[in-house]
Amino acid sequence: MRFSSPAVGHRPRALVRSAAIAAAALLISGPLAASAHAEPATPDLPAELIAAIQRDLKISPADYVARADLAQQVAAFATTAQRQFPNVFAGAWLNEAGKAVVALSDGADLDKARKAVQDAGFVAKDVAKSETTLRSEKNAFQTWLKDQPAEVAKAVRGVAIDTVNNTIAVRVEKAGLPMPGFVDPAQVVVMPVPPTGNEDTTLQTATAIAGEGPRALAAGDGFASVAGRMQLRCSLGFNGTDGSGNVVNITAGHCNPNIPATGGANSPGAFELIGSDTVGSQVGSFQKSILGAQDYSIIAINDASHDRFTNNAVRVPNAAPVAVTGVAIPVVGAPVCKSGSRTGFSCGVVNAVDQTVQVGERIMTQTFSANICALPGDSGGPIVTGTLALGISSASSVADYPICEIPNLIGLITGNAPQLFAQPVSTVLSDNPGLRVRTN
């Protein structure tokens, strides 16, 4: 996570305005209400995850899994509806009551589209603009921006379709920038750039412990990446296999301390962490790292460590895991939980998808965000929805706080909840044919 570490005596800066940070759905930001649909049997989830679900989402574990499943159902429906009803389809999401909503605008095939929505068991909502129209407005804004003075262009941090509000939202660094007439002033969101930094740390080297065998390593466990004297502390992402069947781990791109050397003889190594600050044995090396519009790494696991990565587990370090059963795509309103080696499990809801956000000097695209706190050391860790692999932790709006309790408390008082920006796993898989997340 491009996090900055808090300096001694540093006074935490003001929180990002999370109610506005969600460029794709500004209304989905708080704890979830009780759902109207029937709950399935309680799923097999670890105690640490159940505690986070109840604490952060205020729903039962069974409802958490049910909503996650419903989100993927409406996502699949939306994919079909985009093709069948391009003139009227206007987006889909889960509302705060946990119901699936499909927006429809006026136009040809509206009645057919409404019947399809209702037959699927979803709520149809009438809106003014189709998704096609909104995408045209987004493209028009990007064209307009190219002709603006440098001071305006540099201060615009991104634009996205706000599905829930049926408009486009523009993210800016400061208020008062000129905007084209078709941009609703209420949807011009002032958002400071998420803090940047790295996972730099000073780690000890472990000594051999007699009689101790190698332990399995899962998503959420800590690891150290090492290139010469540079060491970064991150969290392992999802275990998987590449197109040749080799054992890999999928984590964050910025967890690689020397991207230009990746894949060569001097490629940075990945080492297990014993405790929080002691480097153990090397388990692999960075095979591929992307840091720019996307943020992911593929770590090739060495032969001696293969068996340690043949699990489909996500966990808090040294605790019982949740087993990953598949891969999901981000859906606004879906409940999600992240695990990280520093802050463990914490949960929230997706409040923006397919968005643009500036992190330092780079622009990340196709990201999603959720109202979740994460801190340095959580980078690269897994984000799940239900028991499905969803994302990789990338950047946080509150990375300069020492503990999550502080921004979480401020969020309760002000409504300015922390935001976690993430790399969708589905995008990583589509960019790397044959790459798979382990599900058995």
Catalytic residue among 35, 346, 379, 393: 379
| Catalytic residue check, 285 | no
Q: Strand 436-437 vs strand 238-241: parallel, antiparallel, or unpaired?
A: antiparallel
Specify the pairing of strand 100-105 against strand 89-94. Answer: antiparallel
CA-based Rg of the chain, rounded to a whole angstrom?
Answer: 21
- Considering Cα of 394, then 396, then 399, then 401, what sign does the dihedral take? negative
What is the distance between the alpha carbons of residues 2 and 230, in angstroms, rounded to a whole number?
A: 16
Q: Which of 226, 239, 210 is nearest to 273 (CA)?
A: 226
Strands 188-190 and 167-172: parallel
Q: Decide if 60 is catalytic.
A: no
**Active-site choice (254, 341, 378, 393):** 254
- Residue 19 contacts by C-beta under 8 Å, 6 or more apart in sequence? 26, 29, 415, 416
- The Cα–Cα gap between 35 and 348 comes to 16
List 56, 162, 242, 295, catalytic entry: 295
Burial 234-252 (b: 16+ CB within 10 A, else e): bbbbbbbbbeeeebbbbbb
Looking up tokens 């520093």 gives: 342
Active site residue 37: no
Q: How many CA atoms within 13 Å lie on the side-chain side of 77?
A: 29
Which candidate, 210, 203, 173, places its Cα nearest to that of 188? 173
Q: Which residues pair with 92 in a beta bridge?
A: 102
For the residues of 86-145, what is the DSSP string, one character each?
A: TTTEEEEEE-TTS-EEEEEESSTTHHHHHHHHHHTTPEEEEESS-HHHHHHHHHHHHHHH
SS3 state of residue 415: coil
In this structure, are residues 204 and 271 in contact, taking their beta carbons and an 8 Å threshold? no
Structure token pair of residue 110 = 């509206």
C-alpha span between 372 and 217 (Å, rounded): 24
For residue 206, CA distances in Å to 30, 209, 272, 276 come to 42, 9, 10, 12
Strand partners for 359 = 362
For the beta sheet containing 167-172, the strands, ordered from the edge strand earlier in sequence to the opposite edge, are 156-162, 167-172, 188-190
Active site residues: 254, 295, 379
